[in-house]
Structure 1
Amino acid sequence: MTTPRDTPASRRVRANGDGTVYQRKDSRWEAAGYVLAPGNTRRRVRVYGTTRKEALAKLTEKIAASNRGLPVPSAQGSVAAYLTYWLENVAVHHLRENTHTRYTTCVHRYLIPGLGKKKLTKLTAKDVRTWLNQLRTTCQCCTRRIDAQRDQPRCCAAGQCCHKLLPPLTLTYIHSVLKSALEHAVREEEIPRNVARNVRTGTPRPRRFEPLTTNEARQLLAATRGHRLHALFELALHTGLRKGELLGLRWEDLDLDAGTAAIRRTLQRTSAGGLTTLPTKTRASERRIALPSRCLHSLKLYREQQQREREAAGTTWQHDGHVFTTVQGRPIDPTNLTRAFTTLLRKAGLRRIRFHDLRHSTATLLLEQGVELVVIKELLGHAHIGVTATVYAHVRLRLQRDAIDTLGTALVGRETTETARSDGDEPPPCTALVR
């Protein structure tokens, strides 16, 4: 009579649902069992090991994950194949054209050359971390073969590496694109988890910007007087609107009698559609703001000027309702506005800044005037007040000095009061000191 102990290990009967384990002719051990698959179906999987214990452990791990509701990965292709699929079939429908272009550049320049050959199901957090560390310390002239595109050899081709490393913000952006792609792979049950989320790249320092001071802002406004787009620059500095929001304004969005403006759209140049009017950056960016009296006066004068230009242009006038247009009535290209702004800075004798720094200048000047952070958040159209607090956490030296002087005055006043008390008679215990 044969007992279970006498039965060979490869023929022992396992419980129902535990799968089977047996030894192959090549001496390896194979374990097979049914696990959860995408679409709420079940699929038979096979794992291998050099010993029975190793193969059984692999199968047990897969069955345990299946019992927790994690489907077995179905992707069999490489990371490069999935990233290409994600860009062409998923991201293109959820991102703006310019954002999709930046994602595509990031994928083809960094992600596919670095991780593209790995199997999607085999990608680990260690692989991502190792690749990011290598990207952080590798000269881009060498990695991207920039030397080969130059007429004369430089950097690594000449034996003198310039150590052109990627900025921390760029590394964080590359990491975020990879996380977005893998997150969708998890959502489609291609992989069980997003391994890129387990990698920490650190929080990069925000980009430093030098907003205009009060005197510099006055110089700029003085330089814009007499300029055709004086109303635009004045509105930008008083309200902090983005460049695209300013150029996307239509006369129907303005209520000059009530002194308000409805921010509903933005104007951008895309590679496919040219100058295109799009919805605002976020839902919070769609807002109604109050206009200062100076801007209302400038806008009324600009509307009269635009009417004279329309009469002078005659049949060549091509107006579609935008507030700020060219002499022929067409929308203003954002690049041309940047050129005009740079010329005005040079005329005013000011340092060169970005047009977007006018937005930072507005917020900083409002903070200096003691305006509440929540009011600035509503004016700028930030989604959360934490964004406003983070971006404008800097405090000018004058504000620091005012705060320190206020504290010093309070401390000196306290000492003076205590000295006066010690010199004279003590006040009655029931008397409260009123300041």
Structure 2
Amino acid sequence: MTTPRDAPASRRTRANGDGTVYQRKDSRWEAAGYVLAPGNTRKRIHVYGTTRKEALAKLTEKIANSNRGLPAPSAQGSLAAHLTYWLENVAVHQLRENTHTRYTACVNRHLIPGLGKKKLTKLTAKDVRTWLNQLRTTCQCCMRGLDARRDQPRCCASGQCCRKLLSPLTLTYIHSVLKSALEHAVREEEIPRNVARNVRTGTPRPRRFEPLTADEARQFLTTTNEHRLHALFELALHTGLRKGELLGLRWEDLYLDTGTATVRRTLQRTTAGGLTTLPTKTRASERRIALPTRCLHSLKHHHEQQKREHEAAGTTWQNSGHVFTTAQGGPIDPTNLTRTFTTLLRKAGLRRIRFHDLRHSTATLLLEQGVELVVIKELLGHAHIGVTATVYAHVRLRLQRDAIDILGNALDNPAGHEPTDDDPPLCGVTVR
């Protein structure tokens, strides 16, 4: 008597829940079975193969994933459709406006042209890695068609590629945007896993900055002494506040009697609202800091100067409440502040740096004076002390080298000093 186990594989009766496998009229094999679906429901899926073994293996993998609690993908559209949906319906409510604008530019400029036609459920880690490698080595001037839109081509169209490649930091940013978009698809159970997380882009080198030395900082403050915004530049160098945090300060945030200030908001220019007051960059950025005595004197002098400007402006005065304003009382545009800062650097005879480098100058000078890293972290408003340690690693390395040199000098015998009979003898101490 022939048992089901002895029967051929093609005729063997499958157990309940194992699905069915059969051959189609076009000679392909089709396997169907029930798997876990989003919403804790079950649905019937169909997989195909050129042989019975191939179709059965695909079905077995789907059922195994279902048994582990992974729902079957529900997305049917392309990656471009998902990215558009994510930007318009999800990210717009979670990101600051300027961050959302950068994400949108990244998606439209790189992600959709490169991977947009891929099906969301068919995207693999190999696809992402291959595309990133291509992006890393391809001239962006030619990939984005910039050369084709010129009146006179001067890149690949003329046979002379400019090799305008993306920086490692930009590649990491593009990769992080893709990971964020796919992570939302995982949370909505449209795909079982985030394949972009399995791709390693490497850790880019931190952006190099050139902070001011102590002599250069003094020279810069001397040049700004007669400027109407001298208090702003002095506060920036002494406290390390960001540009938006300085421009977002209100008089109600300053406590000149106790010598403290509370950082609650930041001033930014957005595409939709123009100059807008927003919350601080992170929760840790909302902080209370101590004000140096020099800054207290400068702020009191600035307050008196602002009163005189108010009287001179008369009815045209804009009572914005900000500490640092224009001559008419309105908020200062960050771009105009950068332009003023560059002019003052040129007047002082200093090299051109970014305004944000004043913040780096504060941290560097504090480190060189032996201030603890945790104090600098609280002053700058970093979310984690690891951020402070990473950004200023080169400064800590230089301080370590100086400390090692000091120790080496202490261990060496001073010049001209020879041991005498009056010197106490070296002795061993018993350690318990």
TM-score, with normalisation over the residues of structure 1? 0.95
For 2:47, the equivalent position in structure 1 comes to 47
Between the aligned partners of 1:397 and 1:192, the Cα distance in structure 2 is 44
For 2:359, the equivalent position in structure 1 comes to 359
Between the aligned partners of 1:393 and 1:339, the Cα distance in structure 2 is 30
Between the aligned partners of 1:253 and 1:210, the Cα distance in structure 2 is 31
Moved more, 396-405 or 297-306: 396-405
For 1:135, the equivalent position in structure 2 comes to 135
Residue identity in the other structure for 1:406: I
Between the aligned partners of 2:132 and 2:426, the Cα distance in structure 1 is 71
CA contact (8 A) 2:30 2:48 kept: yes
Between the aligned partners of 1:241 and 1:187, the Cα distance in structure 2 is 37
For 1:242, the equivalent position in structure 2 comes to 242
CA distance 1:283–1:425, change in 2 (3 Å): closer
Give the C-alpha shift of residue 8 in structure 1: 6.2
CA distance 1:308–1:431, change in 2 (3 Å): same
Question: For residues 4-403 of structure 1, what are the structure 2 equivalents within 5 Å?
Answer: 4=4, 9-395=9-395, 399=399, 402-403=402-403
Give the C-alpha shift of residue 6 in structure 1: 7.7
CA contact (8 A) 1:35 1:45 kept: yes
Between the aligned partners of 1:426 and 1:152, the Cα distance in structure 2 is 85
CA contact (8 A) 1:147 1:157 kept: yes
Between the aligned partners of 1:384 and 1:397, the Cα distance in structure 2 is 20
Give the C-alpha shift of residue 152 in structure 1: 1.4
How high is the sequence identity, in percent, across the aligned residues? 86
Q: How far does the alpha carbon of each residue in 1:283-331 deviate from its partner, in whole angstroms, 9 at most, with x for none? A: 0000000000000000001101111111111111111211100111100
Give the C-alpha shift of residue 4 in structure 1: 3.1
CA contact (8 A) 1:265 1:286 kept: yes
Q: How far does the alpha carbon of each residue in 1:91-139 deviate from its partner, in whole angstroms, 9 at most, with x for none? A: 0000011000000000010000000011000000000000000000001
Between the aligned partners of 1:180 and 1:7, the Cα distance in structure 2 is 51
Residue identity in the other structure for 1:176: S
Moved more, 130-139 or 149-158: 149-158
Between the aligned partners of 2:39 and 2:219, the Cα distance in structure 1 is 65
Between the aligned partners of 1:20 and 1:396, the Cα distance in structure 2 is 66
Between the aligned partners of 1:45 and 1:310, the Cα distance in structure 2 is 73
CA contact (8 A) 2:367 2:396 kept: no
CA contact (8 A) 1:212 1:358 kept: yes
CA contact (8 A) 1:268 1:277 kept: yes
Moved more, 6-15 or 263-272: 6-15
Q: Which runs of 5+ in 2 are unaligned?
A: none
Moved more, 8-17 or 313-322: 8-17
CA distance 1:362–1:259, change in 2 (3 Å): same
For 1:420, the equivalent position in structure 2 comes to 419
Residue identity in the other structure for 1:274: G
Give the C-alpha shift of residue 29 in structure 1: 1.3
Residue identity in the other structure for 1:123: L
> Secondary structure of 1:341's match?
helix
Give the C-alpha shift of residue 399 in structure 1: 4.1
Superposition CA RMSD, Å: 2.1
> Secondary structure of 2:394's match?
coil
CA distance 1:255–1:85, change in 2 (3 Å): same
Residue identity in the other structure for 1:96: R
Moved more, 43-52 or 335-344: 43-52
CA contact (8 A) 2:366 2:376 kept: yes
> Secondary structure of 2:296's match?
helix
CA contact (8 A) 1:11 1:22 kept: no
Residue identity in the other structure for 2:124: T
CA contact (8 A) 2:47 2:58 kept: yes
CA distance 1:425–1:296, change in 2 (3 Å): closer
Moved more, 279-288 or 3-12: 3-12
Give the C-alpha shift of residue 430 in structure 1: 6.4
Give the C-alpha shift of residue 162 in structure 1: 1.1
Between the aligned partners of 1:49 and 1:397, the Cα distance in structure 2 is 60
> Secondary structure of 1:231's match?
helix
Give the C-alpha shift of residue 425 in structure 1: 10
> Secondary structure of 2:395's match?
coil
CA contact (8 A) 2:172 2:201 kept: yes
CA contact (8 A) 2:70 2:192 kept: yes
Q: Which runs of 5+ in 1 are unaligned?
A: none
CA contact (8 A) 1:269 1:275 kept: yes
Give the C-alpha shift of residue 400 in structure 1: 6.0
CA distance 1:294–1:429, change in 2 (3 Å): closer
> Secondary structure of 1:162's match?
coil
Residue identity in the other structure for 1:46: H
Between the aligned partners of 1:425 and 1:383, the Cα distance in structure 2 is 53
CA distance 1:301–1:426, change in 2 (3 Å): closer
Residue identity in the other structure for 1:57: A
Residue identity in the other structure for 1:249: L
Q: How many residues align?
A: 430
Give the C-alpha shift of residue 405 in structure 1: 2.9
Between the aligned partners of 1:150 and 1:171, the Cα distance in structure 2 is 26
> Secondary structure of 1:4's match?
coil
For 1:408, the equivalent position in structure 2 comes to 408
Give the C-alpha shift of residue 7 in structure 1: 5.6
Between the aligned partners of 1:107 and 1:425, the Cα distance in structure 2 is 75
> Secondary structure of 2:412's match?
helix
Residue identity in the other structure for 1:324: F
Residue identity in the other structure for 1:420: P
Q: How far does the alpha carbon of each residue in 1:360-395 deviate from its partner, in whole angstroms, 9 at most, with x for none? A: 000000001100000000000000000000001112
TM-score, with normalisation over the residues of structure 2? 0.95
Between the aligned partners of 1:199 and 1:323, the Cα distance in structure 2 is 47
